[in-house]
Amino acid sequence: MYHIVQTSDGFLWFLSLPADIYRFDGIRFLPWSLPAGAPIDRSLNIFADHAGGLWVLGPGDIVRLKGAAVSSHFQLEGGMFQSVTEAPDGSLWVLRGNTDAPLCRVTDSLKCFGKADGIPISDIQSVLADGNGGFWLGGQAGGLVHWHAGASEKYNLGNEVFSWARGPDGSLWLGISGEGPGKGLQQLKDGAVKPFVTPTFNGSSFDIGTLMFDHDGNLWVGTKAKGLFRIHGNAVEHYDHTNGLSGDSVYALFEDREGIVWAGTTSGVDSFRDPPVVTFSQVEGLGSDLPAGVLASRDGTIWVANAGSLDHIVNGSVSSIRSGKGLPGDQVTRLLEDRSGNLWVGVDDGLYLFKNGRFRRLPEPDHQPLGMVIGLIEDIDGNIWAECKGKPQKLVRIRDFQVREVFLAPQVPPAWKLAPDPNGGIWIATRKGEWRRQGVQQIA
């Protein structure tokens, strides 16, 4: 599929790569033909305006349909209708071939603009309304122009802008033809075009087919041959044929009124609905797909105890402290935020306090490792309790960053789970399913 739009009556319209138009009524896709007498024999683009009309653009002709009738018809020789945009006043803007007036406004009449109106390039391949009465223009030779009220700013990109999208904050995102430096997914920021890069995604590595922002501020990136990406902050999700996408080359993206995102590939059409559960995995930036524990801290950060990393998620963006790069070991086992907001982290055979970006190891009795921490809680009196698996397995009570007591079997059975008692002390679950209440005084 090459273009997807929705008219005010709720119908979705799809233009395929072979130039066939289909209408979707929510249940069925049906082939659709222009009414008799329409002068277009091959459709190059379709566009739905805010007034409820459906525009069909063909070689040299533009028609607007309202219901089943042609309400407007314009002839425009040399039209290049792969790129169409609508201005805030409802006018339609299209492009035509390499002329002195390549940008044309379609209302009740047709008027074209060019060098005499302050547009410094004539080889325009793409157009996008900026939302404020101006336009972004992409040239075939790599020129990027912002044109507004007869004045223009020009940026030299070196490569053609194939697709673009305006972000919710007004930022401009570009899909520049090709892969490599200066190509792929770029962002115009502070007057400069820069590549979009996260720890797990380099936008310059993908040849972009289409871009779109949805109502939640997610950027959808359709690529040529490498599937579809959804980006929110630094969180990146990837879809391709291996997980159900109909094809790996995506040229059309559209969000309908119900918030469903439609993707048109060279092999079919796919729809995306947000599931009730959002997945975080290595694809989104976790260190691995082997989490051992999850903690929600009071400031809203989600901490993940993982194999090879301590991961944290803030507003959907994932960051990691990894082995050899700040993490004092390989396996993060347990996490606890105490009443003072301190983060306790079990790593390998030790217990650490993580504060201000640094790990501080708990001093151990007789300088012997505690063992792998498999249980970690705080009681109502502020004592930290840790169940440590080792030889032997033991339960320790910690106060003021010191191990105050160590309990071994048979005094205290090996624990499977720990839980604080709101009346004081803790509860211990054994593998046999027994729960025993233990208080500091009782254990002592």
Average pLDDT estimate for 347-362: 95
pLDDT at 437: 58
Q: Which residues pair with 386 in a beta bridge?
A: 376, 396
Query: How many residues are recorded in the chain?
Result: 444
Residue-averaged pLDDT of the chain: 91
Pair 27, 69: CB distance under 8 Å: no
State how far the Cα of 191 lies from the Cα of 418, in Å rounded to an integer: 56
Rg (CA), the chain: 30
Query: What Å distances lie between residue 251 and 4, 44, 46, 434, CA to CA?
Result: 10, 14, 14, 60
Q: Which residues pair with 388 in a beta bridge?
A: 373, 394
Pair 45, 15: CB distance under 8 Å: yes
| Of 288-297, 399-408, 422-431, the least confident | 422-431
- Summarize pLDDT for 42-99 with one digit per residue, the tens: 999 999 999 889 999 998 899 999 877 899 999 988 777 778 999 999 999 999 886 8
Indicate whether 438 pLDDT > 70. Answer: no
Indicate whether 439 pLDDT > 70. Answer: no
Indicate whether 422 pLDDT > 90. Answer: no
pLDDT at 436: 62
Average pLDDT estimate for 368-377: 94
State how far the Cα of 193 lies from the Cα of 148, in Å rounded to an integer: 20
CA dihedral 236, 241, 247, 249 (to 10 degrees): 40
Indicate whether 441 pLDDT > 50. Answer: no
pLDDT at 292: 94
Confidence of residue 431 (pLDDT cuts 50, 70, 90): confident
Query: How many C-beta atoms surround the C-beta of residue 76 within 10 A?
Result: 20
E-only strand ranges, 87-177: 92-96, 103-106, 110-113, 124-129, 135-139, 143-148, 151-156, 161-166, 172-176
> What would the DSSP string read from start to end of 273-299?
---SS---SGGGT-S-S---EEEE-TT
- Summarize pLDDT for 252-295 with one digit per residue, the tens: 999 999 999 999 999 999 999 876 778 899 989 999 999 999 99
- What's the CA angle centered on 122, arms 120 and 128, to 5 degrees? 85
Average pLDDT estimate for 7-21: 93
pLDDT at 277: 76
pLDDT at 444: 34
Query: What Å distances lie between residue 95 and 79, 125, 138, 216, 275, CA to CA?
Result: 6, 7, 11, 31, 39
Indicate whether 111 pLDDT > 90. Answer: yes
State how far the Cα of 222 lies from the Cα of 300, in Å rounded to an integer: 32
Confidence of residue 442 (pLDDT cuts 50, 70, 90): very low
| Chain CA centroid to CA 162, Å | 20
Indicate whether 135 pLDDT > 90. Answer: yes
- Summarize pLDDT for 145-197 with one digit per residue, the tens: 999 989 999 998 888 999 999 999 889 999 999 999 999 999 998 888 999 99
